[in-house]
């Protein structure tokens, strides 16, 4: 089984949140708190020597998803072909166990629907051989999506190694996120 995931180039991200807006639009996320891709900016250092960096984050489609392990209805699964973590909306009872279990805080309870949803890497677009909306929308081309080995081969050379965890994310040991990040030297 291939493991699909996201690549994020923190060194080139300008924090414009276009990926976040594209995701919200694609998934009709209009209520407060409903967001599948989150863009946050962090500041390091002390005045006058401060630096900023941005992280764009969504479901990491983990190799060992904590959300899957706790779902009492079996509504969460890993796709056998792509390794993407999916929620069966019909089977979800809205218990929120997956929200509590996810160390990244990614599943979202949609109040109006009474169920939990999350990034599915724009499966409906990918079936048509298109990239997820967040990747398509990024003006700086800081995001990509695909097979992790192919992403590592495409982006792994050059300055700085690719990492799967940063100081602002939880340890990758328990879940093994399918995420490759070119980390900014401002992270510290």
Residue 161 has pLDDT above 90, yes or no: no
- Asked if 93 contacts 33 with a C-beta cutoff of 8 angstroms, the reply is no
Q: At CA 174, angle to CA 173 and CA 179, rounded to 5?
A: 65
Burial tier of 81 (Cβ tally within 10 Å: 0-12, 13-18, 19+): exposed
Does residue 188 belong to any structural domain of this protein?
no
Residue 1 has pLDDT above 70, yes or no: no
Q: Which of 61, 57, 6 is nearest to 35 (CA)?
A: 57
Does residue 156 belong to any structural domain of this protein?
yes
Task: Give the model's pLDDT for residue 156.
Answer: 87
Between residues 158 and 138, the one the model is more confident about: 138
Burial tier of 30 (Cβ tally within 10 Å: 0-12, 13-18, 19+): exposed
Residue 158 has pLDDT above 80, yes or no: no
Over residues 50-100, the pLDDT tens digits come to 888 999 999 999 999 999 999 999 999 999 999 999 999 999 999 999 999
Does residue 124 belong to any structural domain of this protein?
yes
Task: Give the model's pLDDT for residue 45.
Answer: 87
Name every residue whose Cβ is closer than 8 Å to that of residue 47 and which is 6 or more positions away in sequence: none
Name every residue whose Cβ is closer than 8 Å to that of residue 129 and which is 6 or more positions away in sequence: none
**Cut 0.85: pTM above it:** yes
Does residue 41 belong to any structural domain of this protein?
yes
Task: Give the model's pLDDT for residue 167.
Answer: 79
Task: Give the model's pLDDT for residue 188.
Answer: 62
Q: What is the mean pLDDT of the chain?
A: 92
Q: How would residue 147 be classed by pLDDT, with cut points 50, 70 and 90?
A: very high
Enclosing domain of residue 139: 4-182
Does residue 187 belong to any structural domain of this protein?
no
Does residue 44 belong to any structural domain of this protein?
yes
Task: Give the model's pLDDT for residue 160.
Answer: 66
DSSP state of 136: H
DSSP state of 173: T
Q: How many domains is the chain partitioned into structurally?
A: 1
Q: In this structure, what are the phi and psi dihedrals at residue 185, rounded to the nearest 5 degrees?
A: -70, -5
Residue 137 belongs to a domain with what CATH number? 3.30.70.20
Does residue 102 belong to any structural domain of this protein?
yes
Between residues 132 and 171, the one the model is more confident about: 132
Does residue 42 belong to any structural domain of this protein?
yes
Over residues 87-124, the pLDDT tens digits come to 999 999 999 999 999 999 899 999 999 999 999 999 99
């Amino acid at each position: 089984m291939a493991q699909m995931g996201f690549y994020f180039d923190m060194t080139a991200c300008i924090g414009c949140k276009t990926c976040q807006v594209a995701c919200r639009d694609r998934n009709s996320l209009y209520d407060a708190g409903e967001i599948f891709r989150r863009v946050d900016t962090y500041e390091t250092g002390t005045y006058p020597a401060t630096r900023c960096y941005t992280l764009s984050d969504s479901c990491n489609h983990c190799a060992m998803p904590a959300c899957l392990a706790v779902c009492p209805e079996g509504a969460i699964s890993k796709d056998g072909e792509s390794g993407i973590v999916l929620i069966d909306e019909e089977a979800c009872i809205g218990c929120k166990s997956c929200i509590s279990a996810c160390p990244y805080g990614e599943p979202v309870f949609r109040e109006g629907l009474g169920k939990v949803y999350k990034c599915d890497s724009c499966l409906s677009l990918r079936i048509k051989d298109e990239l997820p909306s967040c990747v398509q929308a990024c003006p700086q081309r800081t995001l990509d999506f695909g097979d992790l080995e192919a992403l590592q081969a495409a982006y792994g050379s050059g300055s700085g190694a690719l990492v799967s965890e940063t100081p602002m994310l939880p340890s990758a040991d328990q879940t093994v996120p399918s995420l490759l990040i070119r980390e900014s030297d401002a992270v510290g």
